[in-house]
Structure 1
Amino acid sequence: MKMDYSLRRRLILWISLPLLLASVITLLIGYFYSWQEIDEIYNAQMVHSAKVLMQLTKEELIEEGAPHFEMDDERIQHEYEAKLGFRIWNNGQLVSFSSSAKDFKDMTAPLGFSSQRINGQKWQVFVLENAQHKMRIEISERYDARYELIIQLMGALIVPGIFFIPAILFIVGVGVRKTLKPMIKISADVDQRNSGDLSPIRSQSLPKEIAPLVVAMNNLFTRLNESFKREREFTDHAAHELRTPLAAMKTQTQVLMKKSAHIKDKSYIEGLENLQDSIDRTTHLVEQLLSLARLQSGDIQKETFNLSVCLDDCLQEYQIIAKNKDITLTKSIASDVWIFANDMAVTILIKNILDNALKYTNQNGSVEVILTSKGRMEINDTGQGLSDRDKKRVFERFVRADKTGQTGSGLGLSIVKWVVDQHDISISLEDNRPHGLKVILEWQLV
């Protein structure tokens, strides 16, 4: 059966995608919000620095009449200072500037904030003027200082996420697997059952989402079990009712054949023979139905018994049939091969396979039976064999792949398949070279 989709994968996907999407959205919102805040903080700092310089310059102007500042010593600069700068004018003359502002000679910035590109780099510039004292203060800062900070902040968010998100996804996967564990157990329970096990599934300690499904399945099993039980009872009763009249008909036919020994009408004799063959076929069908009904009447009671002895006993019964058909029946049976199974079911299985092998093997053919000490059984015949298509169908009820005209009910191998399923036996059909069929059974030893 084709699996359309995995419920576990779908749950993990529906949980993980919103989580990842929320993480990305949070990261984007954090980026824009952080950039805005950093921009505001740095701009406020530039305004504050400009006001401080303006105040200090005014005090210098009041005390000495003209401001005078020493150039800053480049030897004691912080590496970050290369991204900061200032310039001070008085009466239109540049009276002081930072070492990082030496290349700002041609820059003319308007009052307030503005963006300037100097030597290929983008600077944020703030200009503050005092008309009364004819003073002008310029505070400048490279934009990459802000970029570096936002990158560091985003890195502080992304790097832990690289480790945390897989861990969260793993935890989600484990949680989903544990959540679906009851369904997996139910699936395994049903999958391990044989075809005749319709007992209810245990419904204790199940999630309320799964409980209705289990209850519905148990109700279905109950209805199927009752239906199969009625079918078996009908088959059993019908077969029993047919046995007596069939036996009487066969007896009467045999009596008629004895009394008609002196009759020379060949059509009369052929009619009686055909009637007897029909009665034999019907009797065989009834016996097969009874065997199937007995096997399916209840739980299979298993016990440890010797498969070697069981197989040898069955072969003793079929030696006469093989001799009457001029078929060579040989055996190679390892001693003391013990299995845990139902002896009646195993006997029916072996007899059905032997019956088919002898039935479809031509006169002067051979049937070989092998049982190894490892529990491998082979029944090889030299009949016409089966096509690959027929090998897949012969285990179905009332399916017959015979083209030789032999009589049969089409139930023999379906009974074999039922016994095999009940005992977890491996069965396979192969070609027996140069012609014929090889039935291979792998038994579980004890």
Structure 2
Amino acid sequence: MTGSLKGRLFLLLLVTTGVVWLSATAWIYVSTRAEVERVLDARLMEAARMVSSLVQSQDIDMDAAAQIAAPAVDAARGPYERHLSCQIWSLSGSLLGRSDGAPAERLSNHTDGFAERIVDGETWRVYAVRDPSSGVEVLVGDNLEMRARLVRDMVKGLLLPMLLIAPLLAGIIWLAVRRGMRPLDRLAATLGEREADGLHPLPSEASVSEIRPVVASLNGLLERVAWARDHERQFLAYAAHELRTPLSGLKTQAQIATRSDDAAIRSAALAQIVTAVDRTSRLVRQLLATAEAEAVSAEDDRSPVPLAPLLHDLLGDQRARLAEKGGHLVVDASLHDIVAGNQRLVCLALRNLVENAVSHSPQGGTVVLRRSGAAILVEDEGPGMPDDELARATERFFRGRDHVAVGSGLGLSIVKLCAEKLGGNIELSNRASGGLAARLTIPDLQVREAQACQSS
């Protein structure tokens, strides 16, 4: 039961009610005891003064006067009737009179006011009145055990009905919890009856106020799931279209190469096949990179990543591609920093940035990687991008008007995805001297005082 919300709420209410109940009982006990003590002390004082005044009048016998303060026991009048015992002593120390049942031993040795004393193993509270004019001292005592029994019986009379009512109260609390949790049960039933593609919002108007934040959060989640699924469908549709085009071209060029007797035509067809294979290979690789970037969590493997050896291993093939164009890939010495973040995300972002720059570099062009503040800057000497396309360059499958033949429109979108997961961003701008500058900002980028990475 404690593993469920209903069980926890039931136990919480039951324990809280029990604590309040016991606290009230303790308060009643303390206040009742104090009130009983006050009333009985007042009775002692009144009885002692009454006996003293009777003795002063000398109109009554001493035993009779003591008996007035503490009358004989009448069993029919209950167990609390015999509360008081009275003794009348002469100032010389002789017992002049006492009530029935009063001990023969002196109740107290004090001469005036209240005091407590143990007599025959019992504790007595005694009030004394000393009258020098009549030569007597009146002691009226009350057995404290009788007082304690009176208080206990009063509290017991309160507790017994409470204990009898406790099971009924627990049942009422359980029924109230079940009834109060019905809106949540209905919400769970509604979600359980939905099909896998039922992503429409839950109605919130009929929900109780405590459930509305849950419904609002669930609707937000359903909206995000619906958006992600639509985004995935759109991605797959674009990917299928992008793959279909080069595959169709491959088939066409292969048919031309196999059916033509002209060596020049066959050579041109084979060159087209190589281009289509390159484009298809890059598209497949970037599709896999997109899936990897979406699957990786930025919280995984947050150990610092040294950039210099990482770039050396990562960019070897891009350096070779650029060398085929007669260009150079330069890794500036300022990149002897440490990127504290997920190594896989950093690798994916940098590789796609450099690959995009190499693809757009002209013959003999140079691609430079360097640090710029808390960012990594990748610059090329290509044609750049029209200003109206810069804002859309990181969209998936957006290739622009001046796209290259082997481009797939995924590279910069992968960089943006990685940057967002690292808590950073990607900014694109055209260089004044020509070409594109991509600024990858990573919040965890830190400067390390170490030897510089060698330029290529």
TM-score, normalised to structure 2, is 0.46
TM-score normalised to structure 1 length: 0.47
